[in-house]
């Protein structure tokens, strides 16, 4: 562009920017009147907020025009504001109630009008260059009066009475006669509930309670039901010593099996070992403890929970406790069974040197009816400089497995069939680890393509390999980048299989190192799968698997450490 033309364009642009009304401005204005008389209200403070979303709606006062006071005609205006979503609130003097536009009054003089909930719909949308009208018709409040009583008509004091409206709520306390009064309530329909009175359950809701301006809605009766309670102590089995800081659960089994269970949890038993479930509805309950790290879970009047942890389907193995409304059942004592421990040392098979940093994990597995549910509880320990360990708080039972894994040296070994019974300590459970190799690879849909998620089976090469679901030593999944890997493999010949959809009945495919022959499913002849040799504890790191077009190939690529 020639220099003269450029100067001309710049001069024209500057002239346009300096000319009034070429840039549009936006406004919010309105008139404030009394809802009954329709007369304008002067001296009312009107506040302007921007509406932002930050983990929910929040209102932020305008930085330069946070408020405006209405004039003698009830008029207000916020000029030259940016387009977007705004909230406008009128703050009159009592007895009129504060209100967000459009017609969302605060429930009382002091309430915040529920900024977060109102932000979703109490908004003034402003377009560029437009004037948005937001008029207010402010109303005086009404009043709610009533009584809180028990099911036997006894007045209840100290109950927290809540009035919940469409967007806001307010509350008050009942006095010694059970009387309550909520002042300055906005017009509308409300739900009333009472809660928090000692010895009583939360009431059923009373709906609708209709409030009109400058009127009292009275005669509201809220009925609360006396609560039941269950209390007792916790002991160690065979001892009178009480146990404290135990978590307890009470679960009510409804008479109608289709109804949901009602459950309540106590965080911890008291220092004396005592516990008390208060404010329970009438019903039949099962009480059980969470034994934590030192004890097995225990049901009331049952030896312990099967599988170390109490499950909902096992509660019927305990003794049910039935309580009526207002009844207190005491003496519900529970007996806790101490857990066991396993200790020993881990050494290298090659030179008998102690292995530090080996992770030991115990697994307890039990097959429990109904439903043949498998329950597993695991505990961990790490060997010290002397190669020794102690796994404490082990679940008691006869199906304990203990695994020793060292990620740094790729060592792994498992001991099965261990038995740990009440407060039993198994010593000298030692490991002699042989350094193992590994297989690392990556699965893509084609060379240079997208990663594939699959279930990978690693198995010994033996006569039963080609029978699906049998004799697979280990299963693992590829990650979001298609990477898979496993360590701790002894020297030998291995085969890999790939299942692209473990939940389907589709074929499980063998690893192939042949770009010519098509992919073969498990169940084919042994020569359909390619062998992978592990020797000297050296991992195979250059395995690439491509699944398109219907072939699994082998190729070199950079090493992958999962």
pLDDT in tens, 388-397: 999 876 766 6
The residue among 1 and 520 whose pLDDT is bigger is 520
Contact 144, 191 (CB under 8 A): no
Mean pLDDT lowest among 3-7, 229-233, 378-382, 541-545: 3-7
What fold, for 228-336? Immunoglobulin-like (2.60.40)
- Check whether the bond before 178 is cis (ω within 30° of 0): no
The CATH code that applies to domain 142-224 is 2.60.40.1120
User: 237-256 b/e with 16+ CB inside 10 Å = b?
Assistant: beeeebbeebbbbbbbbeee
Averaged over 203-210, what is the pLDDT? 94
Strands 228-236 and 334-336: parallel
Q: Please tell me what DSSP assigns to residue 396.
A: P
State the Cα–Cα distance between residues 489 and 413, nearest whole angstrom: 10
| pLDDT tens, position by position, 268-323 | 566 677 888 888 888 888 888 776 656 777 788 875 665 555 666 677 778 889 99
Q: How confident is the model at residue 144 (pLDDT cuts 50, 70, 90)?
A: very high
Q: What is the mean pLDDT of residues 239-268?
A: 63
CATH architecture of 26-138: Sandwich (2.60)
- Predicted confidence (pLDDT) at residue 153 exceeds the cutoff of 90: yes
Domain boundaries defined on the chain = 26-138, 142-224, 228-336, 340-433, 437-546
| Residue 206 · residue 192 · CB < 8 Å | yes
pLDDT at site 459: 79
Indicate the pLDDT class of residue 225, thresholds 50, 70 and 90.
very high
Which of 238-242, 353-357, 472-476 ranks highest by mean pLDDT? Answer: 353-357
**Per-residue pLDDT, 146:** 97
Contact of 158 with 173, CB cutoff 8 Å: yes
* CATH number belonging to domain 340-433: 2.60.40.1120
Calculate mean pLDDT across residues 244-256: 64
Q: How confident is the model at residue 22 (pLDDT cuts 50, 70, 90)?
A: very low
- Tens of pLDDT, residues 484-498: 888 777 777 888 888
According to CATH, the topology of domain 437-546 is Immunoglobulin-like (2.60.40)
CB 43 within 8 Å of CB 70? yes
Same fold, 142-224 and 437-546: yes
Q: Assign 117 to helix, strand or coil.
A: helix
Task: With CA atoms as reference, report the closest residue to 98 among 169, 162, 42, 88.
Answer: 88
The pLDDT of residue 339: 75
Structure tokens at 26: 């936006």
Measure the CA–CA gap between 229 and 323, rounded to whole angstroms: 8
Give the whole-angstrom CA distance, residue 359 versus residue 408: 11
Write down the pLDDT at residue 521. Answer: 55
Q: What is the pLDDT at residue 143?
A: 92
Per the CB < 8 A criterion, the answer to whether 338 and 423 are in contact is yes
Cα distance between residue 28 and residue 537, in whole Å = 77
Average pLDDT rounded to a whole number, residues 130-140: 93
CA distance to 72, 140, 184, 185, 530, per residue, from 44 (Å): 10, 14, 18, 20, 85
């Amino acid at each position: 562009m020639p220099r003269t033309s450029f100067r001309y364009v710049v001069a024209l642009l500057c002239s346009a920017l300096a000319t009034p009304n070429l840039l549009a401005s936006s406004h919010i204005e309105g008139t404030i009147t009394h809802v009954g008389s329709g007369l304008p209200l002067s001296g009312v403070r009107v506040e302007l907020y921007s509406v932002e979303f930050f983990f929910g709606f929040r209102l932020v006062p305008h930085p330069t025009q946070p408020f405006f006071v209405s004039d003698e005609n009830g008029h207000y205006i916020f000029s030259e504001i940016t387009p977007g979503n705004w909230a406008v609130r009128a703050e009159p003097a009592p007895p009129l109630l504060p209100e967000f536009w459009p017609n969302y009054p605060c429930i009382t003089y002091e309430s915040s009008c529920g900024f977060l909930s109102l932000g979703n719909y109490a908004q003034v949308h402003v377009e560029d260059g437009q004037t948005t009208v937001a008029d207010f018709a402010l109303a005086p409040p009404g009043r709610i009066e009533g009584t809180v009583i028990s099911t036997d008509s006894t007045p209840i004091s100290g109950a927290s009475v809540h009035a919940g409206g469409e967007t806001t709520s307010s509350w008050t306390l009942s006095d010694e006669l059970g009387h309550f009064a909520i002042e300055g309530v906005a017009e509308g329909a409300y739900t009333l509930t009472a809660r928090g009175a000692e010895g009583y359950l939360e009431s059923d809701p009373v709906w609708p309670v209709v409030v009109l301006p400058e009127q009292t809605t009275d005669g509201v009766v809220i009925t609360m039901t006396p609560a039941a309670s269950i209390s007792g102590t916790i002991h160690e089995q065979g001892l009178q010593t009480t146990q404290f800081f135990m978590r307890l659960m009470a679960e009510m089994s409804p008479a109608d099996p289709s109804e949901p269970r009602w459950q309540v949890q106590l965080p911890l038993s008291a220092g004396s070992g005592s516990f008390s479930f208060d404010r329970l509805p009438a019903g039949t309950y099962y009480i059980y403890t969470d034994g934590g790290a030192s004890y097995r879970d225990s049901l009331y009047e049952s030896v312990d929970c099967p599988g170390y942890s109490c499950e909902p389907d096992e509660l019927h193995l305990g003794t049910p406790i039935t309580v009526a409304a207002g009844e207190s059942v005491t003496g519900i004592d529970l007996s806790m069974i101490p857990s066991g421990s396993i200790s020993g040392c881990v050494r290298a098979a090659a030179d008998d040197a102690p292995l530090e940093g080996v992770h030991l994990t115990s697994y307890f597995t039990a097959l429990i009816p109904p439903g043949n549910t498998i329950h597993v509880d695991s505990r961990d320990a790490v060997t010290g400089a002397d190669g020794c360990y102690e796994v404490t708080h082990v679940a008691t039972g006869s199906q304990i497995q203990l695994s020793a894994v060292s990620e740094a040296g790729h060592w792994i070994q498992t001991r099965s069939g261990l038995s740990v019974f009440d407060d039993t300590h198994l010593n000298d459970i030692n490991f002699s680890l042989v350094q193992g190799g590994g297989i690392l690879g990556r699965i893509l849909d084609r060379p240079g393509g997208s990663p594939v998620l699959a279930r990978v089976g690693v198995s010994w090469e033996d006569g039963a390999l080609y029978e699906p679901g049998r004799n697979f030593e280990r299963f693992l999944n590829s990650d979001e980048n298609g990477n898979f890997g496993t360590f701790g493999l002894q020297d030998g010949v291995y085969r890999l299989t790939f299942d692209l959809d473990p939940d389907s009945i589709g074929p499980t495919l063998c690893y192939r190192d042949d770009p010519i022959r098509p992919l073969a499913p498990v169940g084919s002849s042994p020569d359909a799968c390619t062998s992978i040799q592990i020797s000297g504890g050296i991992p195979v790191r250059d395995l690439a698997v491509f699944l398109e077009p219907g072939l699994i190939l082998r190729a070199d690529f950079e090493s992958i450490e999962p």
